[in-house]
Structure 1
Amino acid sequence: MIRMGTITLITGGARSGKSMQALKLALPYQRKFFVATGQALDDEMTARIEFHRTTRPPDFQTVEEPIQVVAALEKLDKNADLVVLDCLTLWISNLMQRHGMDDGPVLAEADKLAAALTHAPFASIVVTDEVGSGIVPTDHAESRRFRDLLGWTNQKIAAVADDVILMVAGYPLKLK
């Protein structure tokens, strides 16, 4: 069981088992919250969100918050033993849409999240994608920008995390 006030970052590629690992680590906790950052902007995302809603264990209370993640965590302050935040990848994408081409506010939000997680009285499990291991998207500046912003955010959260887990083909590798 993860100790109260600790932070676990789970990263890996698409369909590597990140969310399932987060739910597995959450099993022993009583008051569990799931902060979901996805937005149903098209039919495919709507279906993904519905799948996650129906397959999430019923002992989780779900908070759907695509932008104001820090505020959502602060509201859970006295009510949670554990919060799973899934995922930073969609959150960064949402912040990019809100802030346009200005990286400053996006990275400031990442700093605020790192601080909020550090001071939270509950255990946190944060899920994110590892997007820096693939091909550099040379034809799309926005894709490179997203990859960079998510990479920097992942580093900020990993720096304050007690544990960092890399998921590969459904298997966790402890990095920190």
Structure 2
Amino acid sequence: MGKSILITGGARSGKSTLAERTTLALGQPAVYIATAEAHDPEMAERIARHQARRGAEWRTVSAPLDLTGALDASDGGGPRLVDCLTLWLSNLLFAERDWEAEAEAFATALARQSAPVVIVTNEVGAGIVPENALARRFRDAAGLVNQRVAQAADEVLFCVSGYPMKVKP
């Protein structure tokens, strides 16, 4: 079984950069499984910055909805980096998909992987209670997805200002 590492943290905590370094340390070439979609110019710029930071040692797979399928299809092709679960959750919610079933399938898929998987997610439960129902629904769903994937992962790191803190050995 391949090792699975969940890296969580707040916005701009350095978790993606940490995840990229961690993934490359597990072997090369690596597979970057991207969940983001560029629906506006600002998001397109964010995606471009992430792509520019990565070098030739990365192969990118786009998986805005079928994350489990992308994980299974890329197994055996080097370590994988999934970035990120919260964007994937947003995509599932907007597509009106069963996010609970999808998250369970993803967490279950981690156990059958032969190559390592590093997963990035946002810690969304440390702030104030959002004022609107959609934001509260998203925050609650993200917390549940993170808990389920953390349970399935071999290791969990919390990233603060670019530095990891081990949460689960």
TM-score range, shorter chain: over 0.9
Q: Deviations over 1:96-122 (max 9, x none)?
A: 00117xxxx101000000011111111
Residue segments in structure 2 that go unaligned for 5+ positions in a row: none
Q: Give 1:77's aligned residue.
A: 75
Count of aligned residue pairs for this structure pair: 167
8 Å CA contact 2:8, 2:157 repeated in 1: yes
Q: Give 1:145's aligned residue.
A: 137
Tell me which amino acid in the other structure corresponds to 1:156: R
Q: Give 1:86's aligned residue.
A: 83
Q: Give 1:99's aligned residue.
A: 96
2:46 corresponds to 1:54: no
Tell me which amino acid in the other structure corresponds to 2:48: E
TM-score (norm 1): 0.91
Secondary structure of 2:55's aligned partner: coil
Q: Deviations over 1:4-49 (max 9, x none)?
A: 6111000000010101111111223023100000010011101111
Displacement of 1:75 in angstroms is 1.1
Residue segments in structure 1 that go unaligned for 5+ positions in a row: none
TM-score (norm 2): 0.95
Query: What is the CA–CA distance in structure 2 between the aligned matches of 1:30 and 1:49, rounded to whole Å?
Result: 22
Q: 1:136 aligns with which of 124, 129, 141?
A: 129
Secondary structure of 2:95's aligned partner: helix
Displacement of 1:69 in angstroms is 0.7
Tell me which amino acid in the other structure corresponds to 1:91: W
Tell me which amino acid in the other structure corresponds to 2:70: A
Query: What is the CA–CA distance in structure 2 between the aligned matches of 1:88 and 1:56, rounded to whole Å?
Result: 19
Query: What is the CA–CA distance in structure 2 between the aligned matches of 1:113 and 1:147, rounded to whole Å?
Result: 19
Q: Deviations over 1:107-164 (max 9, x none)?
A: 1000000011111111000000000000000x21000000011110000000011110
Give every structure 1 segment of 4 or more consecutive aligned residues whose post-TM-superposition deviation is greater than 2 Å: none
2:154 corresponds to 1:162: yes
Q: Give 2:109's aligned residue.
A: 116
Secondary structure of 1:47's aligned partner: helix
8 Å CA contact 2:24, 2:79 repeated in 1: no
Secondary structure of 2:91's aligned partner: helix
Task: Tell which deviates more after alignment, 89-98 or 24-33.
Answer: 24-33
Query: What is the CA–CA distance in structure 2 between the aligned matches of 1:133 and 1:169, rounded to whole Å?
Result: 15
Secondary structure of 1:125's aligned partner: strand
Tell me which amino acid in the other structure corresponds to 1:26: T
Tell me which amino acid in the other structure corresponds to 2:17: M
